[in-house]
Chain A
């Protein structure tokens, strides 16, 4: 696991692919959601327009150092998560910097972005963002629990903590995926996946009506640009982790695109039909349903 300089351009390339893929995919999903509602929906390249617009805007406002660094933390969290996890199994250049840490690093690094975002939103002084942060943290911690149990179950099953090792063990046909070898763990993990994707029923954190988009309320222009790029790539980074661990990883970019899209659609589909949970409802939901499944996953590994 040594570091060669060639890995830097490789990583940038992977990043570029994922960034564009994210832009397009999220726009397509929003368009699908609109079509279901009978609306024409946004054009597929809408995200690029927003990005250019936000970068073009000139902003004079800065609420202080942490406010300024909030989006930087957020985006670093997103990009870092992508870099620390191997994207395509088998390809020499799409391994990114996965040698430096592994499953545990990925798990804990998710909080890095959340922490940055929370600090920035806190400093902005806006009560809505503070409320949003409190709800977000409360809900995410409850949601992360089944995930942690599932990951541990997987680690016990494959007797390794390195993601490439897990993906390798799942190669060779559909029925080698963890989905089939350890369905309980996957089921528990999907609880967490749906919970942290900020889609109803768990989107009280940035509930548009109550607290306009929650934490990033005070952010605009370049700050918002960074955040939006993160909003695009962060879900994909998480999906990559789920894909690698539970759904057999991706050997080619095409397989990668299809799997990510399908996984991304799951919370979208669930979100469309469910009303919004209050935070304590979602906490109770995770503790009442997510936790037992996670415990079963651990006990039966």
Chain B
């Protein structure tokens, strides 16, 4: 392997050699520069591969042929090699991105860039303190030089502010170095660690050096001077500045922290966390995209600084975590900056222009997922291991602060992504050219490769290696195919996976699998109505299904959590496709991520840092920890089942989603939450916290959700919102059932899982079909569609009969089991809410069917056709299933009943032939169906005999109070259908929960908007901020002692 010193030598040599070549042939000079950078990248990559595969040992390079303490030595281990590779690659791509100014300014600029990359590499390799200082100064001057390449006039001011603060840093660092030398007698980092510290002022010396390096990392309160560079410099340089310089400075801090000893680590953690959370909050109110990226990169540097601060606890996972975070930040941030070169406008909404190029949207999504740390990227593995290690060491507050920071960061990143997908693009907003797109896609490839490497390195479970995720990647590649072909493939994939795994599941998991996988396939039939290629739909849908499939397959906490996040990611992209769904998709994502982080914390506490922790051992958690694990996991799962209080994302997300996405998200996705609750309650059972039985709390939440969900559904004017609120109510029922913690309660919940999937998908598809024809979701704008859309009417009719629990159909089965369940459950008061929710449920269902299908037909709708055949087909399948399930509930329930019996150890239901008897009553679905049908047919025959030749008359043919209506709109009673209810119970409609969550978000935004005002742009005040920061930390850390 060639010696890494060559990296420095090539960098410098080419920089000097450029002077010799003729100034005229600029493109040749540019090629030489690129060749040099490529060579440096090749060397570092060679070292990475050699070190990773163990072919080479950590290289110790002695300059001047003398042993280290007396000469400068360089070291290249695996960490250094990885950083070197990132830096040189970032340098190469940034040079490509900055080709226009480089060619314009000639060899001077190229030399400065080369020296900058060399200096950053030197900073990573050197093991000598003063050499560290020289390289930092080199970076400072080179940065000042390159910043000038930007067209932006403000770059000069930014450069000057940068230089002013670099001076202050230089002063502090020099004093720190010289007094460390005086105290320890040597300048070499490894040598200092060996010898004990004699001079009592050494602590202050170490402090000065450390604080100088930390200020170099642009910590939150004192980083105004660096943010201007991000805003005004050329994006190519900003990429290099944040990815390469940021990572190298972090590594420098890490080197100094090793010899400074563990006493300083809490200080580093404190500064890091303050910087991470602070800059993320301030970034919330940013409108300029590059400044936002600046804040985000400062935040990420703060996060890694905090991780460095925790190195004593992380042990050997430290490199894996810190490396994962640094590399994913470097690749993502560099990619985003290079992308910002393509977008013409500088505000966040101008990024809507990237929609013109599908690969760019994929790139944007990849980078955001990497920054937030979603699977399958390294950040995800790193965050998981970090959480495990922190909880194992009992440092929960630090973990919660980090998760809070990540949540805030995901807030503004996903809001930005929403703008990019949803806002209308200004024309010519994209300066897409092959080179910039090429670089960005290279970064994307780098990101996915890192994801694979981190997955393999994780040992336990490589997300990218699982079959479902590979299917998602396959669908990403199949994008150019027409939608119908992809739809067939998708359905085949789902059914194939179900056939493959169906054998190994217990009855309960089997039902969930049946609802989720083949259920998804049935809903996908409805996607045949779409024409064209539907870019982005199939990968997102398959990601959601992959998440669900893996959720059922999961055996350990990590697999479960990875599946949970993939499912959330996929469903977010699906919901975002809706026309008006941007704010709702954002609130969905934030709630889901909040819930996922609650799960992460819960799993971490439960496993206590033991990796890999099997899922079925959840019950073995220590008794004092169990309630907290219970609360965290319950909150996490309830964000997904939209229990009251965590529900405000659901109405918007389900209502604004596309026609075939609403059933998927509502019918299937909510079941994931229920599946989680089942697992949790199965393992943890009844827990009580501060004397309150938590399952009793869940009962109350379930009851309140059921009642309020139904009440709110009555007052909706939009059909899909009505169904969305009804989903909240039905999930409330299911949650109530599970929380009863008795056999029949769980059976009732399972009934709801099946029933809710069937009729909610049916109703959403029906309303979707009506929407496709009438182009409106507002019920009072429709009416009288029964004659034009008979099949849709039948499906909605069967749906509401089943849903309201009226006897012949399966809804009644659920109610019957519910009654038997509450008979022996000790509680009384929550039942009242459930009893009230029942009939109210019937109201909104009737409103749905009356306002859309009955009443007066509007003139514009006279010539409407039936909903598209592909939409009606799945509805008919569901109708058939409902009737079949109503007559033979045993078909699905008997095995599950046995399984639940094995858990609770009792067998309350006796399945005798077609009748089901319980301790309190009996239910014979076949008899009920037969009696009703016989009576119905006989009465119908009587009416038919008497009135068979009636002539069909239009609804319009009516007289009321001696007047004939002249326009159908006036006589269709639909708007504010339940006015009396609104007068009587309107007070329940006050948006208590949404005002609470709105208050929380506005509060954080307000804080962000207030604190960012203190960056007033004045270079001198920034310098004062730095000195103030140094003095403040000095007082806190040293308390004035030497």
Residues of A participating in the B interface, judged by any CB pair closer than 8 Å:
1, 3, 55, 58-66, 68-69, 71-73, 75-76, 79-80, 83-84, 97, 99-105, 108-109, 111-112, 115, 118-119, 122-128, 130-131, 133-135, 137-142, 144-145, 148-149, 152, 155-156, 159-162, 217-218, 221-223, 225-226, 278-280, 283-284, 287, 291, 294-295, 298-299
Q: Who on chain A is nearest to B817 by CB?
A: A104
Residues facing A in B820-843 (CB within 8 A) are: 820, 822-823, 828-829, 831-832, 835-836, 838-840, 842-843
- Structural contact, A111 and B832, CB atoms closer than 8 A: no
A61 partner residues in chain B, CB cutoff 8 A: 950-951, 953, 957
- Structural contact, A104 and B846, CB atoms closer than 8 A: no
B942 contacts the other chain (CB 8 A): yes
- Structural contact, B980 and A161, CB atoms closer than 8 A: no
- Structural contact, A127 and B971, CB atoms closer than 8 A: yes
Beyond the given pairs A66-B786, A295-B832, A299-B828, 13 more chain A to chain B contacts, judged by CB atoms under 8 angstroms and listed by A's residue number, are A63-B955, A79-B939, A80-B931, A99-B922, A104-B815, A104-B816, A109-B806, A125-B958, A149-B835, A152-B819, A152-B835, A156-B823, A161-B920
- Structural contact, B807 and A125, CB atoms closer than 8 A: no
Distance in angstroms between the alpha carbons of A111 and B928 in the assembled complex: 15
The answer, among A80, A111, A279, for a CB contact under 8 Å with B932, is: A80
Nearest 10 A-B pairs (CB), nearest first? A125-B955, A122-B854, A161-B921, A100-B927, A141-B839, A62-B950, A279-B980, A130-B973, A222-B946, A283-B984
Shortest CB-to-CB span from A58 to chain B, Å, is 8
Residues facing A in B835-866 (CB within 8 A) are: 835-836, 838-840, 842-843, 846, 849-850, 854-856
Q: Who on chain A is nearest to B823 by CB?
A: A155
Which label, helix, strand, loop or mixed, suits the secondary structure of the A interface? Answer: helix
A295 partner residues in chain B, CB cutoff 8 A: 829, 832
B451 contacts the other chain (CB 8 A): no
Q: Who on chain A is nearest to B976 by CB?
A: A134
Distance in angstroms between the alpha carbons of A1 and B954 in the assembled complex: 48
- Structural contact, B973 and A134, CB atoms closer than 8 A: yes
B850 partner residues in chain A, CB cutoff 8 A: 118-119, 122, 130, 133
A-B contact pairs, 6 of them (CB 8 A): A64-B786, A126-B971, A138-B843, A139-B980, A226-B942, A298-B828
- Structural contact, A145 and B786, CB atoms closer than 8 A: no
Shortest CB-to-CB span from B506 to chain A, Å, is 30
B952 contacts the other chain (CB 8 A): yes
The answer, among B804, B822, B924, B980, for a CB contact under 8 Å with A115, is: B804
Mark B977-1006 against chain A: 1 for CB-CB distance below 8 A, else 0.
111110111000000000000000000000
B787 contacts the other chain (CB 8 A): yes
- Structural contact, A99 and B924, CB atoms closer than 8 A: yes
Distance in angstroms between the alpha carbons of A149 and B822 in the assembled complex: 12
- Structural contact, B981 and A283, CB atoms closer than 8 A: yes
Shortest CB-to-CB span from B803 to chain A, Å, is 12
B805 contacts the other chain (CB 8 A): yes
- Structural contact, B846 and A118, CB atoms closer than 8 A: yes
Mark B902-939 against chain A: 1 for CB-CB distance below 8 A, else 0.
00000000000001010011111001100110011001
Residues facing A in B379-401 (CB within 8 A) are: none
B807 partner residues in chain A, CB cutoff 8 A: 101, 105, 108-109, 112
- Structural contact, A75 and B939, CB atoms closer than 8 A: yes
- Structural contact, A99 and B927, CB atoms closer than 8 A: yes
A109 partner residues in chain B, CB cutoff 8 A: 806-807
The answer, among B806, B917, B921, B953, for a CB contact under 8 Å with A111, is: B806
- Structural contact, B940 and A119, CB atoms closer than 8 A: no
B956 contacts the other chain (CB 8 A): yes
Distance in angstroms between the alpha carbons of A66 and B805 in the assembled complex: 20
Interface centre among B931, B977, B981, B985 (most CB of A within 10 A): B931
- Structural contact, A72 and B939, CB atoms closer than 8 A: yes
- Structural contact, A137 and B921, CB atoms closer than 8 A: no
A59 partner residues in chain B, CB cutoff 8 A: 947, 950
* Given known contacts A115-B801, A128-B960, A137-B846, A3 and B920 CB-to-CB distance under 8 angstroms: no
A112 partner residues in chain B, CB cutoff 8 A: 806-808, 932
- Structural contact, A125 and B855, CB atoms closer than 8 A: yes
Q: Who on chain A is nearest to B824 by CB?
A: A159
The answer, among B831, B917, B931, for a CB contact under 8 Å with A152, is: B831
Distance in angstroms between the alpha carbons of A58 and B965 in the assembled complex: 26
Interface centre among A66, A73, A76, A287 (most CB of B within 10 A): A76
* Given known contacts A111-B806, A223-B947, A299-B828, A138 and B981 CB-to-CB distance under 8 angstroms: yes
Distance in angstroms between the alpha carbons of A299 and B830 in the assembled complex: 12
Mark B203-227 against chain A: 1 for CB-CB distance below 8 A, else 0.
0000000000000000000000000
B978 partner residues in chain A, CB cutoff 8 A: 134, 137-138
Interface centre among B797, B815, B939, B965 (most CB of A within 10 A): B939
Shortest CB-to-CB span from A26 to chain B, Å, is 20
Shortest CB-to-CB span from A195 to chain B, Å, is 12
B732 contacts the other chain (CB 8 A): no
Mark B780-809 against chain A: 1 for CB-CB distance below 8 A, else 0.
000010110010000001000100111110
- Structural contact, A62 and B939, CB atoms closer than 8 A: no
B943 contacts the other chain (CB 8 A): yes
- Structural contact, B855 and A130, CB atoms closer than 8 A: yes
A162 partner residues in chain B, CB cutoff 8 A: 920-922
Distance in angstroms between the alpha carbons of A217 and B915 in the assembled complex: 41
B812 contacts the other chain (CB 8 A): yes
A145 partner residues in chain B, CB cutoff 8 A: 835-836, 839
- Structural contact, A280 and B815, CB atoms closer than 8 A: no
A105 partner residues in chain B, CB cutoff 8 A: 807, 812, 816, 923, 928
- Structural contact, A221 and B984, CB atoms closer than 8 A: no
Shortest CB-to-CB span from B714 to chain A, Å, is 9
Shortest CB-to-CB span from B525 to chain A, Å, is 27
A278 partner residues in chain B, CB cutoff 8 A: 980
B932 partner residues in chain A, CB cutoff 8 A: 76, 80, 112
B843 partner residues in chain A, CB cutoff 8 A: 137-138, 141
- Structural contact, A108 and B805, CB atoms closer than 8 A: yes
Shortest CB-to-CB span from A288 to chain B, Å, is 10
A141 partner residues in chain B, CB cutoff 8 A: 839-840, 842-843
A100 partner residues in chain B, CB cutoff 8 A: 915, 924, 927-928, 931
Distance in angstroms between the alpha carbons of A108 and B801 in the assembled complex: 11
B940 partner residues in chain A, CB cutoff 8 A: 69, 72
- Structural contact, B819 and A155, CB atoms closer than 8 A: yes
A152 partner residues in chain B, CB cutoff 8 A: 819, 822, 831, 835
A80 partner residues in chain B, CB cutoff 8 A: 931-932, 935
The answer, among A66, A97, A104, A115, for a CB contact under 8 Å with B921, is: A104
- Structural contact, A123 and B955, CB atoms closer than 8 A: yes
* Given known contacts A61-B953, A64-B786, A155-B920, A161 and B931 CB-to-CB distance under 8 angstroms: no
- Structural contact, A101 and B952, CB atoms closer than 8 A: no
Shortest CB-to-CB span from A8 to chain B, Å, is 9
A72 partner residues in chain B, CB cutoff 8 A: 936, 939-940, 943
B977 partner residues in chain A, CB cutoff 8 A: 134
Distance in angstroms between the alpha carbons of A97 and B939 in the assembled complex: 18
- Structural contact, B806 and A115, CB atoms closer than 8 A: yes
Shortest CB-to-CB span from B142 to chain A, Å, is 76
A102 partner residues in chain B, CB cutoff 8 A: 921-923
Shortest CB-to-CB span from B888 to chain A, Å, is 15
Shortest CB-to-CB span from B930 to chain A, Å, is 8
* Given known contacts A65-B786, A122-B850, A1 and B915 CB-to-CB distance under 8 angstroms: yes
- Structural contact, A222 and B980, CB atoms closer than 8 A: no
Shortest CB-to-CB span from B585 to chain A, Å, is 35
Distance in angstroms between the alpha carbons of A55 and B979 in the assembled complex: 37
B917 partner residues in chain A, CB cutoff 8 A: 1
B831 partner residues in chain A, CB cutoff 8 A: 152, 298
- Structural contact, B953 and A63, CB atoms closer than 8 A: yes
The answer, among A79, A139, A160, A279, for a CB contact under 8 Å with B935, is: A79
Shortest CB-to-CB span from A83 to chain B, Å, is 6
The answer, among A123, A139, A283, for a CB contact under 8 Å with B985, is: A283
Shortest CB-to-CB span from A118 to chain B, Å, is 6
B939 partner residues in chain A, CB cutoff 8 A: 72, 75-76, 79, 226
A138 partner residues in chain B, CB cutoff 8 A: 843, 978, 980-981
